[in-house]
Amino acid sequence: MKNLIRIQKYYFKLIALFCFAFIVGCDDFVVVDQPNSQLTTDAIFENATTANAAMVDVYAQLRENGLLTGKSYGISSLLGTYSDELVSYENGAFTTADFYNNSILASDPFISILWNSSYNQIYASNAVFEGVGKSTSLASNVKNQLQGEALFVRALIHFYLVSVFGDVPYLSTTDYVFNSTTPRTASQVVYQNIISDLETSIKLLPEGYTKSDRTRPNKAVAQALLARVFLNNGNFAEASNTASALLNDNVNYIWENNLDAIFLKESTTTIWQLASGAAGANTEAGSTFIFFSGPPELVALSDNFVSQFETNDLRKSSWIKEVTEGNGIWYHPYKYKQDIATGSSMEYSVIFRLAEQYLIRAEARARQGEITGAAADLNKIRNTAGLANTAANTQSALLEAVLQERKFELFTEYGHRFFDLKRFGKLDAVLGAKAGWSANDQLWPLPQSELLVNPSLKPQNPGY
């Protein structure tokens, strides 16, 4: 793949990670030229401090670049505009406009950026996994923790890649020559590899968090992703059981009835979150979505989306902010309420939270005909939003109710809406009214630049 040869410099970039041992919040590193010897690189994984710093840098890259960034080119923004959550007010290249208009091309710069950032992060995870595995001095618990985290991140990024691109290479090595010529892997095989990585990760990771702020994965974090993967792969019994294993932990995960507290960094419903880049910094999503005057510079919530909330739904009043100017009215997501730095960080980027696990189990139960249990899980979400119990009492009605509830609970969170519509087979039915939408838009194109460098990736996705 394009740029993968340059990725070999990653190991030597890690030398700069020694700053983590001495400076809080150091996330930016200098890439140095490759030395003649691998000795310095190997030494990084013989020391617990620098080995941990290598893994922390992977999380910094997830926060700053690629699919999970809260910036305007992350999937929270791009898939929000690509589906029916957000309206783009941008124009030109390097904007959300082509995603909103469903007119993206294989040459779109964002497509290339997301692809390369994601595979760089996978490479970095593989580098940690391999480096720690070769270590002769790290304690076994440290090795297990780091290898478990590396496998989790590798599975996480591949999950998002297969969800938007379809068949993609599943890379589990730092052999950049091999990686640069590998063909696409069938989606079903990608899912099998993700599940295998997560099952191993769960065995390696500890029950408790190594950091109280929940920024380093534990066993439950890998379980949360595995439950999501099982659901999307049609393994409904496994999805229900895996979500239940997490939901039964009422010591680490305590339900929160105050919607305004759910996205604070101390929330007891958070399963895993990405730390901000510096002391006092908050989330990139807050900076991307919040605006104070109209028309917005980037994106705003769709009027149609906002109008569909039930009367008295507290999520509308707590998680959506109205902005007026003259005769214009716009709405922005307000789950994160800080758009600038504060005295101390108040919000981190929440990737997994308890509500999603209830919704996963509700859907998995409904698909298996467990009507009572599915309704109970759904009502947990609805009651917290100030709504009455669901009236759905059949399998088909409950599945529709789950899809609707996910729409209002998980909006603008890492592409859930798009993936939900795809899983329910409703992308064309719901998004067909959008200008520019076609059946081929269920997948994004592979970057044209990658197809030129690695012809083994062909054929291109249909329609591009």
Number of domains composing the chain: 1
> Pairing between strand 349-353 and 270-274?
antiparallel
Q: How many CB atoms lie within 10 A of CB 436?
A: 12
User: Residue 299 falls within a domain, yes or no?
Assistant: no
**What is the token pair recorded at 214?**
């929940």
DSSP 164: H
User: Residue 296 falls within a domain, yes or no?
Assistant: no
CA dihedral sign, ordered 11, 132, 206, 197: positive
**Where does residue 304 rank: exposed (0-12), middle (13-18), buried (19+ CB within 10 A)?**
exposed
Q: Does 363 have pLDDT greater than 80? A: yes
Q: Does 135 have pLDDT greater than 70? A: yes
Q: What is the pTM of this model?
A: 0.91
User: Residue 137 falls within a domain, yes or no?
Assistant: yes
As a whole-number percent, the residues of the chain with pLDDT over 70 amount to 91
378-395 residue pLDDT tens: 999 999 999 999 999 999
Distance (Å, rounded) from C-alpha 380 to C-alpha 399?
Answer: 16
206-250 residue pLDDT tens: 999 999 999 999 999 999 999 999 999 999 999 999 999 999 999
Q: Does 119 have pLDDT greater than 50? A: yes
- C-alpha torsion 66→69→74→75, nearest 10: 100
The CATH number assigned to the domain holding 95 equals: 1.25.40.390
User: Residue 394 falls within a domain, yes or no?
Assistant: yes
User: Residue 43 falls within a domain, yes or no?
Assistant: yes
175-208 residue pLDDT tens: 989 999 999 999 999 999 999 999 999 999 999 9
In sequence order, the β-bridge partners of residue 274 are 349
> How many angstroms from the chain centroid is the CA of residue 196?
19
What range does the domain containing 201 cover? 4-269+350-435
Phi-psi region of 436 (alpha: psi -120 to 50; beta: other; left: phi over 0): left
User: Residue 131 falls within a domain, yes or no?
Assistant: yes
Distance (Å, rounded) from C-alpha 84 to C-alpha 433?
Answer: 10
Distance (Å, rounded) from C-alpha 248 to C-alpha 253?
Answer: 9
Distance (Å, rounded) from C-alpha 441 to C-alpha 84?
Answer: 14
User: Residue 41 falls within a domain, yes or no?
Assistant: yes
User: Residue 233 falls within a domain, yes or no?
Assistant: yes
